[in-house]
């Protein structure tokens, strides 16, 4: 199987849908020799920020000298981005080789009466097999959807992380924060410490789950805290702040912007500190500082161009839009904003628009190529409740080019609504790799 054939095969697996459950992945991994049992894993779930937090954890461990795997989804440009070791994507030939090894096991499963594994289950199995074969020291593993019956939940990690819990994916996870928190707390394993920045009713649910599993619960904002030193950088470079950890104090310089990223950084620090709390040498403070200073996570309040400043952000739900709004007000309070906005149909589009549109002098509504992308006319109707200058340009490429032509040098152009939008915009801007 070539790489192109492998990608075609993986894309073909989307026909099996988002069929949550652990039975298929458990059986597939059993046939592969249970590679996950040979891995030291930090399991990261939550509604928002779990990808950023996963990248931060991996960055710190890598800076400390550990061979570190990282599995995240979705990718921006290449499927290989999902499987990193020490920041390097899996080689295309290696991905094809591993999928060639895995495929006969899936065929045998189906022949024996099992349901066919889904695309995400196959990518999870591929990641775990790859990291085990490469003998990684640690793996930062991001939950795909929810927690309890997400395919990544076959693992028993050394530390579990739940970044936060807000409303998202309600058709799969539940209609209230409490219901969603119950699903996400399903990643908590007996005796495994848990780190969370969740609040309110979500925190109560997580606390109950931790108590039932006799797991130590570390609270970001209480046990681990951060204080701002220099949060504002109008050039979009970095932010500086301090983190008071469980065992040390850190002066952080972070290239990811926004107060939500300060919380994610504190969460990552807490997870790494807990990783070594029961023995072994703790990660040096210098490695924490270096790992966070070098973290690279595209499409999250990413400044990709100046004069005019172009920002890319994958905010796709109400909480994400609120975080984006707060960051724009923090870093660019006196600048005029133009949004290029495109969202998936199953998202809370009216609430996202309510957060962002009042900040804008103009909005261009468009639609990504993703099959779940929503109707632009309905999205435009939401925007028109807040301002008159609304354009509909169906093609993302043309929308981005139009806005670049229209903007003044001191304007802020923000392209947002989903990571799929961000990926297409990055390609238009000549940023086809991460």
What is the DSSP track for 175-228? SSHHHHHHHHGGG--TT--EEE---HHHHHHHHHHHHHTT--EEEBTTTBEEEE
Arithmetic mean of pLDDT, 295-306: 91
What is the band of 237 on the pLDDT scale with cuts at 50, 70, 90?
A: confident
What pLDDT is recorded for position 113?
Answer: 96
Reply yes or no on whether the pLDDT at 282 is more than 90: no
Arithmetic mean of pLDDT, 234-255: 87
**Domains parsed from the chain with CATH numbers:** 3-293 (3.40.1190.10), 302-428 (3.90.190.20)
In percent, how much of the chain has pLDDT > 90? 82
> Could you tell me the two tokens for 298?
């595209």
What pLDDT is recorded for position 231?
Answer: 54
Residue whose token pair is 């990193």: 84
Arithmetic mean of pLDDT, 111-129: 97
What is the band of 228 on the pLDDT scale with cuts at 50, 70, 90?
A: confident
Yes or no: say if 126 and 36 are a contact pair by the CB < 8 Å rule.
Answer: no
Q: pLDDT tens, 316-355?
A: 899 899 999 999 998 898 899 999 999 998 888 999 999 9
The predicted model scores a pTM of 0.93
Q: What is the mean pLDDT of the chain?
A: 93
Q: pLDDT tens, 15-48?
A: 777 778 999 999 999 999 999 999 999 999 999 8
**Distance (Å, whole) CA 373 – CA 359:** 24
């Amino acid at each position: 199987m070539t790489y192109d054939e492998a990608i075609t095969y993986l894309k073909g697996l989307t026909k099996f849908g988002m069929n949550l459950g652990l039975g298929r992945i458990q059986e597939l991994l059993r046939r592969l020799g249970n590679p996950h049992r040979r891995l030291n894993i930090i399991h990261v779930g939550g509604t928002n920020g779990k990808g950023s937090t996963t990248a931060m954890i991996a960055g710190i461990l890598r800076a400390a000298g550990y061979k570190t795997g990282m599995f995240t989804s979705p990718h921006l440009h290449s499927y290989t981005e999902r499987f990193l070791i020490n920041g390097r994507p899996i080689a295309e030939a290696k991905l094809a080789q591993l999928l060639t090894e895995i495929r006969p096991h899936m065929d045998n499963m189906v022949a024996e009466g099992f349901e066919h594994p889904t695309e995400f289950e196959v990518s999870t199995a591929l990641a775990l097999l790859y990291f085990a074969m490469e003998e990684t020291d640690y793996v930062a593993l991001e939950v795909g959807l929810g927690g309890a019956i997400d395919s990544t939940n076959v693992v028993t990690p050394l530390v579990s992380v739940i970044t936060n819990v807000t409303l998202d994916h309600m058709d799969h996870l539940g209609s209230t924060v409490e219901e969603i928190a119950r699903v996400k707390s399903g990643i908590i394993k007996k005796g495994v410490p848990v780190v969370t920045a969740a609040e309110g009713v979500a925190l109560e649910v997580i606390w109950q789950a931790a108590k039932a599993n006799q797991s130590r619960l570390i609270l970001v904002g209480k046990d681990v805290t951060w204080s701002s030193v220099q949060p504002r950088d109008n050039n979009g470079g970095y932010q500086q702040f301090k983190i008071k950890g469980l065992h040390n104090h850190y002066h952080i310089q972070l290239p990811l912007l926004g107060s939500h990223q300060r919380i994610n950084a504190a969460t990552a620090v807490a997870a790494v500190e807990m990783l070594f709390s029961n023995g072994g040498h703790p990660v040096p403070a210098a490695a924490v500082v270096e790992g966070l200073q070098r973290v690279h996570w595209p499409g999250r309040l990413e400044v990709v161009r100046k004069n005019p400043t172009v920002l890319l952000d994958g905010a796709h739900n109400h909480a994400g839009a609120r975080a984006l709004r707060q960051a724009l007000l923090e870093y660019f309070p006196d600048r005029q904003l133009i949004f290029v906005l495109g969202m998936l149909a199953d998202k809370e589009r009216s609430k996202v628009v309510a957060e962002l549109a009042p900040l804008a002098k103009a909005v261009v509504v468009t639609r990504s190529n993703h099959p779940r992308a929503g109707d632009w006319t309905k999205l435009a109707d939401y925007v028109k409740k807040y301002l008159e200058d609304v354009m509909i340009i169906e093609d993302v490429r043309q929308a981005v080019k139009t806005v670049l032509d229209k903007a003044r040098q001191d304007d802020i152009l923000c392209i947002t609504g989903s990571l799929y939008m961000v990926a297409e915009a990055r390609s238009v801007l000549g940023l086809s790799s991460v």
